[in-house]
Structure 1
Amino acid sequence: MTNSSATAQTTLDDVAVLMPAYNGQADVDSTLASFDESALVHVLIVDDGSTPPIVAPTLPNLKIEVLRMAQNGGIERALQTGIDALAQRGFRYAARIDAGDRAVPRRLAKQRAFMEAHPNVAGLGMWTQVVTRAGEPLFMLTPPAEPNAIRRQRFFRSCLAHPSMMLRIDAVRTVGNYRAAYRSAEDLDLFVRLMERYDCANLPELGLFYELNEGGISATKRRRQIGSTLRLQLRYFNVANPYDWLGVAKNLLHLMLPYRTLQRVKRALLMPRASR
């Protein structure tokens, strides 16, 4: 074994994929099978009371643990439990992904290298290709990369794609971990609190294929999610930031538009011109 390959085998020892799951065994299996790294990938599945229980698939180069919750308590509680469990196990970084999504090869290595080089970055996302359940591309999410731009636009657009994020575990716990105060907007709540003390950034390259699932939180709990987002916007509202004003107006519009109509508008605005 060469020195370079020996180094590669240790680069992800302090990283763990954090996946909450409620039923959907097939989606869990396909998502974990998408990871392609040169080093061993550690995975913690938080089974949020699935029936039947989630079973860890046997996959090459993955070491998978399933942490079972006694009953279904929601994604906020599952993520909070997962972060605490990873801290107890000595991991420094949690790489988020959701069942049904797919990772781009070497996503974890790229994110970890960036975060090692930028110690004040507590959360790092990547560009995201939104796809149908069948894997057909719909549109790309290409948010800003720089922390200051993300801070300015945090309430106007989805600057940080939650399933693409790598999180610094100690920073997440320092600001209070995931919490259920803003149900269905637990990711934005966490990111806002992180950005009060640290930076959040994006790698401006594709890192995730995000499955647009009409059975997911954004569809089935949409009004609750919008309500939680509005409460966050009002709590952290900056009158000098025009993006905060635009963000409130945008969310009020979302309340009025049906979910399917909103998705059609997004596709029309974000779909590449060549494919129209």
Structure 2
Amino acid sequence: MSVPVSVVMPVYNQERYVALAIDSILAQTHRDFELLVVDDGSTDATPQILAGIEDPRLRVLPVPHAGFCRALEAGVNAARGTWIARMDSDDLCHPQRLERQLAFLEEHRECLFLGTAYGLLTPHGRSLKPRVGFTWRYVEPSHITLGPRIFADPSVIFHREAALQVGLYDRDFENENPLWYKLLRIGKGAVLGEPLYFARWLLGSASRQKGAQQHAMHLRVRERYDPNNARRLKPQPAPTPTTRMLYLGTRAVTYYLLAGDRPAARLAARQTLRSCPLSPRAYQMFIQSLLGIAAFRGKGGAEYVPVVGLLW
């Protein structure tokens, strides 16, 4: 039996956060959905955690470990929904996320996908919201290629049949951006300015540590799918591991302090200092973490502010 929307969540060794991510989907005000969790060969306690969750809307699809995009493909192919809502296994979303996104898509039939602005979560669940200067807008290729991203990939709901029509994900890249480019060739995409999705910002995550690989992959995606805008970008060398760690550590300490998560900020500062012991900036961030000082304005003028009390 079909449903209006299938939530597809790939998971790999996410025992710490996966239950929280699932809870935030099961608590949605829009109740008519299926949650398809694709277990990409987890070797920690994730399978046991999934087996212990009892809800008829939850389906668990175990697959051999083959990577992020192949797990997503398996989920989309197995899904019964007209729409696919993405969700990452360590994030949270607003209880009205599905309700609001589906209502928008009902009113804007020209849209094949819809993302939202996104807030940030610290390791301990403290939150930051962006100050966004628009209610909604159409997505242009330049929003994907150039400048700061205005939506998070896992905040997107997209039309399943349209995605299958354009060939779904590009297996050359462990990245969802090619799908958004391809959908823009046959229809429109949009983004809501309200943050209905909260992405957990973890300094030690694998994607944040693979700086050179991530940099090269993003360049290749841009060159293949948006060559005109890609040519406007100044060539930049791939960051060294030390440069990458210093950049990520600075952002992590700042975000965590803004959110009021001082233990996470101190840990991130220590990790950064160990990796960059000759950097004055690393010592500065370490002192800031001890004093609890943070002042930061995000790229493009999007200022992050702490969320006081509950998220919603």
Letter in 2 for 1:155: T
Q: Deviations over 1:141-189 (max 9, x none)?
A: 84974225x3333211323311111111111111111132123xx2111
Letter in 2 for 1:67: L
Q: CA RMSD in A?
A: 2.8
Are 1:66 and 2:60 counterparts?
yes
Are 1:128 and 2:108 counterparts?
no
Distance 2:129 2:245 in 1: 17
Distance 1:190 1:274 in 2: 31
Letter in 1 for 2:192: L
Q: Deviations over 1:94-136 (max 9, x none)?
A: 1111111001011001111111222221111111111211122
Are 1:25 and 2:15 counterparts?
yes
Larger radius of gyration: 2
Aligned to 2:170: 179
Residue in structure 2 matching 1:269, options 275, 285, 297 = 297
Residue in structure 1 matching 2:86, options 93, 96, 105 = 96
Cα offset for 1:274? 7.3
Residue in structure 2 matching 1:78, options 71, 74, 86 = 71
Aligned to 2:41: 49
Q: Secondary structure at the match of 1:190?
A: helix
Please say if residues 36 and 59 of structure 2, whose CA atoms lie closer than 8 Å, have aligned partners that are also in contact.
yes
Please say if residues 12 and 42 of structure 2, whose CA atoms lie closer than 8 Å, have aligned partners that are also in contact.
yes
Distance 2:238 2:122 in 1: 21
Distance 2:111 2:212 in 1: 31
* Matched positions, count: 251
Letter in 1 for 2:61: L
Normalising by the residue count of structure 2, what TM-score does the alignment of the two structures yield? Answer: 0.71
Distance 1:273 1:51, change over 3 A: closer
Q: Secondary structure at the match of 2:145?
A: coil
Cα offset for 1:218? 2.9
Letter in 1 for 2:170: R
Cα offset for 1:63? 1.3
Distance 1:112 1:214, change over 3 A: same
Distance 2:36 2:142 in 1: 33
Aligned to 2:268: none
Cα offset for 1:80? 0.9
Distance 1:143 1:93, change over 3 A: farther
Normalising by the residue count of structure 1, what TM-score does the alignment of the two structures yield? Answer: 0.80
Are 1:154 and 2:144 counterparts?
yes
Residue segments in structure 2 that go unaligned for 5+ positions in a row: 256-295, 307-312
Distance 2:61 2:305 in 1: 45
Q: Secondary structure at the match of 1:192?
A: helix
Aligned to 1:8: none
Q: Deviations over 1:223-270 (max 9, x none)?
A: 22221110122224454x5xx455x33x72663541441463585332
Residue segments in structure 1 that go unaligned for 5+ positions in a row: 1-11
Distance 2:103 2:5 in 1: 11
Are 1:194 and 2:183 counterparts?
yes
Report percent identity of matched pairs.
Answer: 25
Cα offset for 1:272? 3.8
Cα offset for 1:72? 1.0
Distance 1:177 1:274, change over 3 A: closer
